[in-house]
Amino acid sequence: MTHQPSTRSQDNPVTVIGLGPMGLALAETLLKKGHPTTVWNRTPGRARDLVARGARLAGSVADAVAAGPLTLVCLKDYPTLYEVLGRDDGASAGRTLVNLNSGTPNEAHAAASWAAERGVSYLDGAVMVPPPLVGDPGSLFLFSGPREVFDAHRATLASLGDPRHLGDDPGLAVLHNAALLGLMYATMNGFLHATALVGSAGVRAAEFADLAVNRFLPTVVDATLAEQAPDLDAGRYPGELGTLHMNLNALEHIARTCEEQGVHTAQPRLMRDIAAQAIEGGHGGSNYLAVFEVFRKAAPHTR
């Protein structure tokens, strides 16, 4: 008979190592959801409020890890993980470590190997919401590593939000994290640049945001990307409704408008140059999504 993990919070103790803003949010949420929670931080004073709410402050990393089967680590980076967890004196053997700091896929693979050498079950993870949203059922948490490890602790991870297992490859969570944050920053920069451009004529940001965010993006951009994403996988970019040559013309007009209005021009010129590269690659008659062929290839290194 296969043992099924308990879904009762009181049966699933958790340790949280690292009490920065995100670590505090994780521990606070686990306490609210009824999990026996142990915490450790290099500065013990940061745990004062958590202890007042019922958390247990461990005296050492080894004590913290030994307190339960699952430890969430929320530190600055992978080197800090090794520095801190190197103090556990073997206490982590046979337990599960979920690493929620950011980094690169290569660093995640190295951490998984490091954990395996110590007899530790390992998941790499990424928190895709700010601290105030931890605990919301819709808040996205990404995990990668052995499926059986994820399944064993899914109920506990679900206390934090919506846990998504991306695959057995431990590098997938940080890879998705970098991709999604890159999308976020590119989108925010696009909005901020557009707001600066109309602002050059005295248009208020709040007025433009209603038009751009509530009306234009959902109907023109979001719907287009969701509908045409399969074309990216197929390398199919039909240009019947508009070609890259047409888009390059529009991008040139955007850059010239920025010059006229005295607004920063580097971002639109970069977009124009990327479109020109796609045309040089033979995609002039394709639609704008053909710039995907430029992005998927490494750019030449320059000195």
Q: Does residue 195 belong to any structural domain of this protein? A: no
Within the chain, where are the H helices? 21-32, 48-52, 61-66, 78-85, 105-117, 147-157, 172-199, 205-209, 223-234, 244-261, 266-278, 292-295
Q: Does residue 140 belong to any structural domain of this protein? A: yes
What is the pLDDT, as a whole number, of residue 214?
Answer: 93
Co-location of 142 and 46 in the same domain:
yes
Co-location of 213 and 159 in the same domain:
no
Q: Does residue 243 belong to any structural domain of this protein? A: yes
What is the pLDDT, as a whole number, of residue 299?
Answer: 62
What is the CATH classification number for the domain harbouring 246?
Answer: 1.10.1040.10
The C-alpha atoms of residue 116 and residue 202 are separated, in whole angstroms, by: 59
What is the pLDDT, as a whole number, of residue 4?
Answer: 60
Co-location of 154 and 258 in the same domain:
no
Q: Is the pTM of this model over 0.85?
A: yes
What is the CATH classification number for the domain harbouring 95?
Answer: 3.40.50.720
Q: Does residue 188 belong to any structural domain of this protein? A: no
Co-location of 15 and 159 in the same domain:
yes
Query: Which domain-ending residue is among 121, 153, 174?
Result: 174
Q: Does residue 192 belong to any structural domain of this protein? A: no
Of 163, 157, 129, the closest CA to residue 9 belongs to 157
- Domain assignment of residue 41, given as a range: 9-174
Q: How large is the C-alpha radius of gyration of the chain? A: 24
Q: Does residue 286 belong to any structural domain of this protein? A: yes
What is the pLDDT, as a whole number, of residue 223?
Answer: 83
Co-location of 55 and 17 in the same domain:
yes
- Identity at 22, one-letter amino acid code: M
Co-location of 162 and 235 in the same domain:
no
Work out how many domains the chain is built from and give that number: 2
- pLDDT tens-digit series, residues 5-21: 666 767 799 999 999 99
Co-location of 16 and 120 in the same domain:
yes
Co-location of 86 and 24 in the same domain:
yes
Which residue ranges of the chain lie beneath pLDDT 70? 1-7, 9, 299-303
What is the pLDDT, as a whole number, of residue 2?
Answer: 39
Query: Which domain-ending residue is among 174, 191, 211?
Result: 174
- pLDDT tens-digit series, residues 84-107: 998 777 778 899 999 999 899 999
Chain CA centroid to CA 103, Å:
10
Co-location of 215 and 170 in the same domain:
no
Q: Does residue 4 belong to any structural domain of this protein? A: no
Co-location of 34 and 154 in the same domain:
yes
What is the pLDDT, as a whole number, of residue 269?
Answer: 96
Co-location of 152 and 50 in the same domain:
yes
Co-location of 142 and 251 in the same domain:
no
Q: Does residue 49 belong to any structural domain of this protein? A: yes
